[in-house]
A and B are shown apart, each in its own frame.
Chain A
């Protein structure tokens, strides 16, 4: 397997500033290798399911964890989450909702759809960076996902 093709973290984020900040936080925790960004829900789905511009990609190359914003152009985060969690090929990929919204309806629906974590992006960068680092650490280093059969 070519190491360079492996994507560890997929960040689905339409706000470039938030992406930069998340990247900066991950870099600080030495988690910045093999990160891919999708700028809307559609692109995220194409990437995850290796379709469209990503048809040449292989699904076994990751991502190992998805950081998903909820408010996204075209296909919103909850729809992306639902499609990931209802497909047997992808349902075991940990998905962390990383969003501005504290709205209870979003939290409840995310958990109902099977999200692995729900995190509200704090305004304070130190808190933001701490949270992103902890998430990356947990899902990439500490968590042992079950092996997919077949």
Chain B
């Protein structure tokens, strides 16, 4: 090991000089005696009578003394010098350590076997609100939540007896304001029961976790409730579907039976009343059917696939052919790009919109219905335009509500569910639906579907 130059200090030079001086005196004496130098004899009168072995002894003594002296000084110097360095270095290291110790956001401490903290960093006081004296002045277990004390003691004992580290041990510490902070500990035991420990305040994290868990539970509860409600709704609509229609069939069927069997015996008015009864029953039947269709819409899952819109629309127009009989209806079909959606549901949308167009143009000498699509950004905007009765835009907000109608039943029949169905289907496809109209100047219904992206 090479010593650095700065370690050759004054003490070492003094030791060297001293030993050299003693040796020089001895040598001088020896030379003076051997060569009988007069000048020296005047300086050291003893030389005259000194024996040779005495002079030699003196030289040896001088050398030995010098060597001892310098060795002693060297040792002393070495000791003091080293200590001096180590004090400076230790001071430096301590300062560094202290800086980290004070800076740390985590709680750092040394705990004694007596159950008291021996040293704590400022994070302790910041986190727990107590002063350092307060924390150091009481056994640390005093600050631990009563429910966590047994576990804390067990962990400390385990650590001391096994010598194993503690990792992610959690307990609650009392804050000065009476609240509890959740600390997660990591600690290393020392022989003799001392422990070096670091703790992290995970109260917020724990609260966030608890919050998330609570939210999850709430969500699950709500999902369960929703599922239950859905099941009830299903049972309800199943029952409506079965049981509500049966009496209507009886009302309609037996009215018809009376008309058939006893019609001739009834006055004209009686027959008309029976006919009204039948119409009422049939209308109620239509309402129930539409309502069931509507409620089923939100319960059945979407079965999306590519839908050839042009083909679908032409097919529907053929199906609705009977409604055009005896009328002048001009139908223009523009370019209708394919889309991604549930074919059965989208068919329902087109049927409802085209039926409406046919219905509300009934009073036109020549009905004109235009079906098309325009591309806007990443959406296909499909539309059905007619030159029919139209409506006042002031009531446009009511258009898509269930059972909302903008025309009197004696003008145009209907249940007021058709457009609600359209809206629900389009919303379930992530699209929008709206209308543009003016009274007696026709209406245009628009709906959007995302442009199909090739897979």
Chain A positions within 8 Å of B, measured between CB atoms, are: 15, 17-18, 20-21, 24, 70-71, 99-104, 121-126, 128
Residue contact B250 to A18, C-beta cutoff 8 Å: yes
**B245 / chain A contacts, CB cutoff of 8 Å:** 100, 121, 123
From B247, B255, B285, give the contact of A122 (CB < 8 A): B285
Residue contact A125 to B253, C-beta cutoff 8 Å: yes
* A99–B249 alpha-carbon span in the complex (Å): 12
What are 18 sample pairs from A and B whose C-beta atoms fall under 8 A apart? A17-B246, A17-B253, A18-B246, A24-B253, A99-B242, A100-B246, A101-B241, A102-B289, A103-B238, A103-B241, A122-B249, A122-B285, A123-B248, A123-B249, A123-B281, A123-B284, A125-B253, A125-B255
A107 to chain B, nearest CB (A): 11
Q: B304 within 8 Å of A by Cβ?
A: no
From A20, A101, A104, A123, give the contact of B282 (CB < 8 A): A123
Residue contact A125 to B256, C-beta cutoff 8 Å: yes
Residue contact A121 to B300, C-beta cutoff 8 Å: no
**B278 / chain A contacts, CB cutoff of 8 Å:** 124-125
* A73–B246 alpha-carbon span in the complex (Å): 15
Among A17, A103, A121, A123, the one with the most B-chain Cβ atoms within 10 Å of its Cβ is A123
Residue contact A126 to B238, C-beta cutoff 8 Å: no
* A124–B245 alpha-carbon span in the complex (Å): 10
From B248, B253, B256, B292, give the contact of A102 (CB < 8 A): B292
Nearest B residue (CB) for A15: B246
**A71 / chain B contacts, CB cutoff of 8 Å:** 242-243
From A100, A104, A122, give the contact of B296 (CB < 8 A): A104
Chain B positions within 8 Å of A, measured between CB atoms, are: 237-238, 241-243, 245-250, 252-257, 278, 281-282, 284-286, 289, 292, 296, 300
Interface residue SS majority, chain B: helix
* A31–B390 alpha-carbon span in the complex (Å): 50
**B242 / chain A contacts, CB cutoff of 8 Å:** 70-71, 99-101
From B243, B249, B286, B292, give the contact of A21 (CB < 8 A): B249
Task: List 7 additional contacts besides A122-B285, A126-B256; criterion CB under 8 Å.
Answer: A15-B246, A17-B249, A21-B250, A71-B242, A100-B246, A103-B237, A121-B245
Among B246, B248, B285, B289, the one with the most A-chain Cβ atoms within 10 Å of its Cβ is B246
* A138–B242 alpha-carbon span in the complex (Å): 25
Nearest A residue (CB) for B344: A104
Ranked nearest first, the 3 interchain pairs of A and B with the lowest CB-CB distance are A123-B285, A17-B250, A125-B253
Nearest B residue (CB) for A16: B250
Residue contact A104 to B300, C-beta cutoff 8 Å: yes
**B253 / chain A contacts, CB cutoff of 8 Å:** 17, 20-21, 24, 125, 128
* A18–B286 alpha-carbon span in the complex (Å): 19
A128 to chain B, nearest CB (A): 7
Among B247, B248, B256, the one with the most A-chain Cβ atoms within 10 Å of its Cβ is B256
**B248 / chain A contacts, CB cutoff of 8 Å:** 123
B169 to chain A, nearest CB (A): 55
A103 to chain B, nearest CB (A): 6
**B256 / chain A contacts, CB cutoff of 8 Å:** 125-126
Residue contact B285 to A124, C-beta cutoff 8 Å: yes
* A117–B285 alpha-carbon span in the complex (Å): 22
* A124–B285 alpha-carbon span in the complex (Å): 8
**B249 / chain A contacts, CB cutoff of 8 Å:** 17-18, 21, 100, 121-123, 125, 128
Residue contact A123 to B252, C-beta cutoff 8 Å: yes
Nearest A residue (CB) for B284: A123
Residue contact A100 to B250, C-beta cutoff 8 Å: no
Nearest B residue (CB) for A71: B242
Nearest A residue (CB) for B256: A125
B242 to chain A, nearest CB (A): 5
Residue contact A24 to B243, C-beta cutoff 8 Å: no
**A24 / chain B contacts, CB cutoff of 8 Å:** 253, 257
**B289 / chain A contacts, CB cutoff of 8 Å:** 102
B238 to chain A, nearest CB (A): 6
**B292 / chain A contacts, CB cutoff of 8 Å:** 102
**B285 / chain A contacts, CB cutoff of 8 Å:** 122-124
**B241 / chain A contacts, CB cutoff of 8 Å:** 100-103
* A21–B241 alpha-carbon span in the complex (Å): 19
**A126 / chain B contacts, CB cutoff of 8 Å:** 256
A91 to chain B, nearest CB (A): 26
Nearest A residue (CB) for B244: A100
* A15–B68 alpha-carbon span in the complex (Å): 130
* A70–B239 alpha-carbon span in the complex (Å): 12
* A99–B237 alpha-carbon span in the complex (Å): 15
A92 to chain B, nearest CB (A): 28
**A99 / chain B contacts, CB cutoff of 8 Å:** 242
Residue contact B252 to A125, C-beta cutoff 8 Å: yes
**B247 / chain A contacts, CB cutoff of 8 Å:** 17
**B246 / chain A contacts, CB cutoff of 8 Å:** 15, 17-18, 100
* A41–B325 alpha-carbon span in the complex (Å): 46
* A103–B292 alpha-carbon span in the complex (Å): 9
**A103 / chain B contacts, CB cutoff of 8 Å:** 237-238, 241
B247 to chain A, nearest CB (A): 8
* A71–B239 alpha-carbon span in the complex (Å): 9
Nearest B residue (CB) for A21: B253
**B254 / chain A contacts, CB cutoff of 8 Å:** 17, 21
* A26–B365 alpha-carbon span in the complex (Å): 43
